[in-house]
């Protein structure tokens, strides 16, 4: 047998080696995480409290907000702790757990975006049948499908990555345990594993994108047949926000996972990873809800209730 020593822990090299940048980056990520937590958890609470938001659209939006908060929580606190303490060591099992949770949640978000596109299709193209098309049982089945696919995705990627041998270096050129930088450390043959990753990611992205694209083809066809300028503007505004978020999400996913490993630039990958692991979860509440009149109305209602509930000063 060949003499080799399997690593028991990994060293995350992080975003920078400059000690002068550690505090500014920590404060920036702290602000991003605070906004992410406040925006997403606040949106979930708002949807739960306001009966007017108990509809399929906000059912999926609430789950998207919860997934965004969880995916950010898997990565951001670890990064902030490393910047604050300088300790960038992560155990083998913790690294595998981080990869599993993150790949699971990202895949869940992938299918939630598709489910939200189908909901918008039903609302715009089949408004008279909306209540039966998007009844509660259908929404629950779609949601379960999102989480089951996410779980299977996490199992496949984590299994394929950590079935490899890591015996040369334990230094991950990244700020969390993502698939490409961890696979880059493997000392065993990883070509088949990389192909599995590409095929699985391609399948999930292709399936969701086809679903979203088909939904929007029908939506735009319906919009073009509308005679009301107000209806045109409202529908296009909603579609523009959703499509912007979808384009950003899938653009970064394709950039990270569907290019050959030989063309990966670690520094470029880090910037893209900051965007999809921290920035997108922060922006989604803004993109999907803050421009929504129903959400704004619910927020003002809750705010007025809290003001009235506040005890009078003696």
Q: Which sequence spans correspond to the domains of the chain?
A: 9-306
**CATH number of the domain located at residue range(s) 9-306 in this protein:** 1.20.1070.10
The edge-to-edge listing of strands for the beta sheet with 9-12 is: 89-91, 9-12, 171-172
Angle value at C-alpha 27, between 171 and 14, nearest 5 degrees: 10
Q: Which residue has the higher pLDDT, 37 or 128?
A: 37
Q: What angle do CA 297, 298, 300 make, to 5 degrees?
A: 65
Average pLDDT value over all residues in the chain: 83
**157-182 CB burial, b ≥16 within 10 A, e <16:** bbebbbebbbbeebebbbbbbbbbbb
42 or 227: which leads in pLDDT = 42
Identify the pLDDT of residue 314. Answer: 42
Please state, in angstroms and rounded to a whole number, the distance separating the CA atoms of residues 58 and 47: 7
Range with the poorest average pLDDT among 39-43, 169-173, 285-289, 292-296: 292-296
SS3 content of the chain, % helix, strand, coil (to 5): 80, 5, 20
pTM comes to 0.86
Q: Chain-centre distance of CA 112, in angstroms?
A: 10
Cα dist. 189→95, 164, 195, 268 in Å?
21, 8, 12, 25
* pLDDT above 70 coverage of the chain, percent: 81
Q: How many CB atoms lie within 10 A of CB 18?
A: 9
Q: How many CB atoms lie within 10 A of CB 306?
A: 9
Residue-by-residue DSSP string for 143-203: HHHHHHHHHHHHHHHHHHHHTS---S--EESSSS--HHHHHTT--S--HHHHHHHHHHHHH
The two beta strands, 9-12 and 171-172, are: parallel
Give DSSP secondary structure letters for 60-100.
HHHHHHHHHHHHHHHHHHHHHHHHHH---EEEHHHHHHHHH
∠ CA 214-220-222, rounded to 5°: 105
How far apart CA 68 and CA 283 sit, in angstroms, is 10
Q: pLDDT of 145-182, one tens digit each?
A: 999 999 999 999 999 999 888 877 788 888 899 888 89
CA 47 from chain centre, in angstroms, equals 19
Rounded Cα distance, 47 and 42, in Å: 9
Q: Tell which wins on pLDDT, 303 or 103.
A: 103
Q: Residue 129 is inside which H or E element, if any?
A: none
d(CA 63, CA 59): 6
In this predicted structure, what is the pLDDT of residue 141?
Answer: 96
* pLDDT per residue as tens digits for the range 229-265: 666 666 666 676 677 778 777 777 666 655 555 555 5
Residue 47 scores a pLDDT above 80: yes
Residue 2 — very low, low, confident or very high, per pLDDT cuts 50/70/90? very low
Give the model's confidence band at 120: pLDDT under 50 very low, under 70 low, under 90 confident, else very high.
Answer: confident
């Amino acid at each position: 047998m060949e003499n080799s020593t399997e690593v028991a822990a990994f060293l995350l090299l992080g975003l920078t080696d400059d000690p002068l940048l550690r505090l500014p980056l920590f404060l920036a990520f702290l602000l991003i995480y605070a906004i992410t937590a406040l925006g997403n958890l606040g949106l979930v609470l708002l949807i739960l409290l306001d009966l007017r938001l108990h509809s399929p659209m906000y059912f999926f939006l609430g789950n998207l907000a919860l997934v965004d908060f969880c995916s950010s929580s898997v990565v951001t606190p670890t990064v902030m702790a490393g910047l604050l303490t300088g300790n960038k060591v992560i155990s083998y099992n913790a690294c595998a757990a981080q990869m599993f949770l993150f790949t699971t949640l990202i895949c869940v978000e992938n299918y939630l975006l598709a489910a939200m596109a189908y909901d918008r299709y039903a609302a715009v193209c089949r408004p008279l049948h909306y209540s039966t098309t998007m009844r509660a049982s259908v929404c629950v089945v779609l949601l379960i499908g999102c989480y089951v696919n996410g779980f299977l995705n996490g199992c496949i990627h984590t299994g394929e990555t950590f079935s490899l041998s890591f015996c040369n270096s334990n230094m991950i050129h990244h700020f969390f345990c993502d698939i490409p930088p961890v696979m880059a450390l493997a000392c065993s043959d990883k070509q088949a594993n990389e192909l599995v990753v590409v095929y699985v990611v391609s399948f999930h992205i292709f399936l969701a994108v086809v679903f979203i694209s088909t939904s929007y083809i029908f939506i735009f066809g319906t919009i073009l047949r509308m005679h009301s300028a107000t209806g045109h503007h409202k529908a296009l505004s909603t579609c523009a926000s959703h499509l912007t978020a979808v384009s950003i999400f899938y653009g970064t996913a394709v950039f990270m996972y569907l290019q050959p490993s030989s063309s990966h630039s670690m520094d470029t990958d880090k910037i893209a990873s900051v965007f999809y692991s921290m920035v997108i979860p922060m922006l989604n509440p803004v993109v999907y809800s803050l421009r929504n009149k129903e959400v704004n109305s619910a927020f003002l209602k809750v705010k007025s209730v809290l003001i009235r509930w506040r005890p009078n000063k003696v």
